[in-house]
Amino acid sequence: MSHKFIIMGPQASGKGTQGKLLAEKFNIPRISTGDIFRKEIAEKTEIGKLVDEYLKSGKLVPDHITSSIAKKRLSKMDCKKGFILDGYPRNLDQALFLDSITPIDKVILVNISDKEAIKRISNRRVCIDCGSSYNLISKPPKKKGICDKCGGKLVLRSDDYPDAIAKRLEIYRKQSRPMLRFYDKKNILIKIQGMQSIGDVYSDILEKLKIK
């Protein structure tokens, strides 16, 4: 069986953490369009320049750019047996495009309330040098403001400021609804309660991924 998964959920639902755990367990790449964009921006590539403003303001990057980036990444050899997509697709058009290039086995929805999302995001910090992420409550660095791994400075991501968060949550709710219906109709959507510990969310996912 292939392991072609999508992990979805509002910002700070913990889907990134779960995606990494699943990627390790199934030995598949975790593909985050957000990470790809941030890398392009950091490397000041042509694509980076194109998408910089969208990420800064919390707006979605236009579908034609995002989907071509995703298609290119999915065509690599390491995706043959499976992958876990995080942050893509984000709306019905992207889901339809994805459907035209590859079948998907399961869509994992990790859900949390908006209130919980805002609380978690305001505690999030990222290392400006190596990109490692922390949470001041659930995963604090050993030394305040300093990355455990490389000693870099920890900052609030530019799209984690309150205005950008509110915009992203609103966009997420509006755009994900038709996409969730699309996957639900295909009978591949599994829903997970995200307001529990990392370990409990993970075991719920594994339990529900079992082929019935």
What is the contact surface with ligand AMP in residues (CB under 6 A)? 11, 32-34, 37, 54-55, 58-61, 66, 87-90, 94, 159, 168
Name residues whose C-beta falls within 8 Å of residue 171's C-beta, 6 or more positions apart in sequence: 58, 59, 60
**In angstroms, what is the minimal distance from the CB of 125 to ligand AMP?**
15
φ/ψ (deg, to 5) at 113: -75, 160
Question: What is the Cα–Cα distance from 117 to 164, expressed in whole angstroms?
Answer: 13
Known catalytic residue: 181?
A: no
Residue whose CB is less far from ligand AMP, 82 or 87: 87
Confirm if 92 and 179 have CB atoms less than 8 A apart: yes
Considering the candidates 15, 73, 106, 120, report the single residue annotated as catalytic. 15
Q: Which of 2, 5, 3, 74 is nearest to 33 (CA)?
A: 74
Residue nearest to ligand AMP (CB): 34
120-138 as b/e: b if 16+ CB within 10 A: bbebbbbbeeebbebbeee
Known catalytic residue: 168?
A: yes
Known catalytic residue: 124?
A: yes
Known catalytic residue: 90?
A: yes
Known catalytic residue: 173?
A: no
Residue whose CB is less far from ligand AMP, 47 or 136: 47
Give the dihedral sign, CA 177/74/78/211.
positive
**In angstroms, what is the minimal distance from the CB of 191 to ligand AMP?**
20
**In angstroms, what is the minimal distance from the CB of 63 to ligand AMP?**
7
Considering the candidates 4, 90, 106, 120, report the single residue annotated as catalytic. 90
**In angstroms, what is the minimal distance from the CB of 48 to ligand AMP?**
12
Catalytic residues: 15, 90, 124, 157, 168
